[in-house]
Structure 1
Amino acid sequence: MTVYVDDVLTSLLGFCCFFGTIKFIKFIRFNKSLIIFVQTLKYVTKDIISFSFMFSIVFMSFLALFYLLFNSNIESCSSLLSTSQMLFEITLMSFDATDFTGADPFLGPFCFSIFIIIVVFICLSMFMSILNDGFHHVELNSIEDQQILSYMLKKFLNWTHLRRPNVEETYEIRDSRMHSQYVDPIENFPDKIDQLLEALDRVY
Structure 2
Amino acid sequence: MRTFNQSKPILEDPWEYKNSSEVQGTIFIGQHGIYDTGGYVATLPSSKTAALALFSLLSRENWLDKYTIVVFVEFDLFIPDSNLFCSMVLAVESPKTGGAEGRLTQQVFKPLKMFHKTSLSDSYAVTLFICWVCICVFPISQIVSLVRRIRIQRRLFLKVAWNYFDVTLAATTLSSAVVMVVCEVVMTNDLGELRKGTRQNLQRTAALYDLLNHIISMLVFLSIIRFLKLLRFNQRMTLLSKTLKEAGKDIISWLFMASVIILGFSHAGYLFFHSSIESFKTMPDTLRLFFTTSIGKFPKETFLQLTSTFAQMLLLTYAVLNIVVTMNVFIAIINKAFGKADGERKSAQNHFDVLDYLSTRLKERVNNSGSK
Q: Name the TM-score class by shorter chain.
A: 0.5 to 0.7
Q: Pick closer, same or farther for the CA change 1:84–1:124 going to 2, 3 Å.
A: same
Aligned counterpart in structure 1 of residue 231 of structure 2, from 14, 28, 49? 28
Aligned counterpart in structure 1 of residue 331 of structure 2, from 87, 110, 128? 128
In 2, are the aligned partners of 1:55 and 1:123 still within 8 Å (CA)? yes
Aligned counterpart in structure 1 of residue 317 of structure 2, from 84, 94, 114? 114
Q: Which amino acid aligns with 1:46?
A: K
In 1, are the aligned partners of 2:246 and 2:337 still within 8 Å (CA)? yes
State whether structure 2 residue 265 is matched by structure 1 residue 62: yes
More helix by share: 1
Percent identity for Structure 1 against Structure 2: 24
Q: 5+ unaligned residues in a row in structure 2: which ranges?
A: 1-203, 357-372
State the alpha-carbon separation in 1 of the partners of residues 297 and 217 from structure 2. Answer: 30
Q: Pick closer, same or farther for the CA change 1:151–1:10 going to 2, 3 Å.
A: closer
Choose between structure 1 and 2 for higher RCO, CA contacts under 8 A separated by at least 6 residues.
Answer: 1
1:63 to partner: Cα distance:
0.6
State the alpha-carbon separation in 2 of the partners of residues 148 and 83 from structure 1. Answer: 48
Q: 5+ unaligned residues in a row in structure 1: which ranges?
A: 154-204
The correspondence of residues 43-58 of structure 1 with structure 2, limited to 5 A, is 43-58=246-261
State the alpha-carbon separation in 2 of the partners of residues 98 and 15 from structure 1. Answer: 37
Deviations 1:8-46 (A, max 9, x none): 222222112111111112222111211111111111122
1:74 to partner: Cα distance:
2.4
Helix, strand or coil at the partner of 1:142: helix
State whether structure 2 residue 286 is matched by structure 1 residue 83: yes
Partner of 2:305: 99
Q: Which amino acid aligns with 1:123?
A: T
Aligned-pair Cα RMSD in Å: 2.5
State the alpha-carbon separation in 2 of the partners of residues 126 and 47 from structure 1. Answer: 10
In 2, are the aligned partners of 1:36 and 1:139 still within 8 Å (CA)? yes
More strand by share: 2
The correspondence of residues 5-24 of structure 1 with structure 2, limited to 5 A, is 5-24=208-227
State the alpha-carbon separation in 2 of the partners of residues 48 and 123 from structure 1. Answer: 11
The correspondence of residues 164-179 of structure 1 with structure 2, limited to 5 A, is none
Q: Which amino acid aligns with 2:305?
A: D
Structure showing greater radius of gyration is 1
